[in-house]
Chain A
Amino acid sequence: MVQELLASPPGLMNFAIFFLLAAILLMVILGFVTYAILAERKVMGFMQLRHGPNQVGGRWGLLQTVADVLKLLIKEDTIPKLADRPLFILAPVIAFAPAFLVLAVIPFTDKLQFADIGVGLLYYIAISGISTVGVVTGGWASNNKYALLGGMRAAAQMISYEIPLVMSLLGVILLSGSLNLNDIVSAQSHGWFIIKQPIAFIIFIIASIAELNRTPFDLPEAESELVAGFHVEYSGFRWAFFMLSEYVYLFAMAALTTVLFLGGWGALPFLGFIPGAVWFSLKFSLIVFILIWVRVTLPRLRADQLMEFGWKVLLPAALANIFLTAILKELF
């Protein structure tokens, strides 16, 4: 049925059907974000030998995030007098829209996927860069010193870590010979890229944590030095959209890591009877857990260490990995 739909001439009917399906995905993502925040707080709690949320919604705090969202929804919204009003209002939208837009190309299983475009990987990288514009806009529009510093740090961090991120993926592209994410998954049927491309995987994980602005790279919002960085003037639901985009990116980045390095929905040998969706969610959860684990374990870097690390360690390593891969491929 979906094949027929894709083959039919595009029109309003197709638009309506796609809209409905994408809206369902959006609801699933919002559900994920709700429980990812809870999971993060719980895991952080257990790792730091405390309980985490355990009041709202039973022992596991199952309704904690729902309560938080409701509280944000009925919170008064203030826009400072000195702020640049149109840009201030626009910034959360610029930050959020790309976060959802990148999900269009990610294949969850061989059946469950949305847009299957030829340049999927390039599309992901290109669109995800736009979010930083939203962060910088928010920092600038607030007309607040902390916010401006946070926004500038976000820009500096993005330009330093975008390069290693993009370069580390070249190894994967060399081996699969395609930018289409479906082709990349099928190229991993005889061994995942995490085994063939270990250096690329490590660089990618580090750079993606930096792109996600998560601890140890959360300098744009470093609460101990910049109070809350770029979103210090935001309150209520506008603030919630910055947070939401952060967690939607967490979803997108974990899904992309699964697709690129862990073989997507592919099964381990002899375990092919377990459906692809289960495999995907297992690998995906593992990546999310590792990202939370890293956040709990490592302290925040200093701004200068962060920049030096990106340019002096990650970039040369990524370049070396490209040519190591190319030469190995030429030899074998």
Chain B
Amino acid sequence: MIARLLAPAGSLEMAQAAVDQGADIIYVGPLGFSRRPYESEMSDDAIREAATYARSRGAELRVVLNTFPTPYDFGRFVDKALRYAADGASGFIVTDVGLMCALRREIPDTVLHVSIGSGISNLADAAFYRDAGADVIILPYRWDVAEIESVRRASDIGLETFLFETVQTGKLCPGKCIMSSYLRFRDWKEVEGSRDFHGSANRGAKECYRVCQANWEFGAVGADPVEIKLRRDARLMLAQLPAFVAAGVSCFKLSGRERPVGMIRDLVRFYRRAIDEVAAGATDLGHHAAELAELRGRWVREKAKRVDTLMDRAASYVA
């Protein structure tokens, strides 16, 4: 099986850049429905245009509906998905298992990815989601080759992984975290559309404040605290890529809808070459080390701009 490259499209410009550089699939988030600030989400018209652009060049478009619906607007998610499917979206990235079942029922031939926000942690989870109609699961950040092989043996579900090195420590809790909304809510902005509930990162209204990446003091009562982040920063991967392909990963996801277009353009070009080399039989990608180091540096510098910024901004939002 040839592994595919799934690339971010936080804007129409980014969508076109990713397709031009060889992404097999791009993913877009509708305004207010995809756990990103509105600057990195797209209007329905822009999504339709991105789908047309991708299809005309042999690529596909997935729509990210990875927020949790409210009890009142569950049907709205389904309606939006039907519209996107009619506009050329070939699949969806979904978190809520109820929504996943509904989309499988309403759009039988679409491709359904289980979002990282579903919090899958074992191969029994994978089997549950397969039963529920999912086609692809995103693998947990902690999983290495042995884990991938075990789920490959247990299920025929498609396997997707982020292009990050695996990590074992820290509070890595996608789908198991509501820290941001405990601290503050930010009111909806007009551009995000009118919704009738107070939102949260998980429900799409508000950005996640990256609580885990901000600086905290941590310690036992009475002891001297240490200044600490709750998790290590994600690190772009490369060396693991051949082994992951051999273990059965069929889709590699590049994160970064909120990143600069130029960075995503360069990253898609880089990983396109790497995946093609692995498909041609390469098992060692060490000759890309210098270019990888440069990309990692850019990635980290961009990330550093955001640490603490979102948290400090959140302090001004409503309680």
Are A and B physically bound partners? Answer: no
A residues at B contact (CB < 8 Å): none
B residues at A contact (CB < 8 Å): none
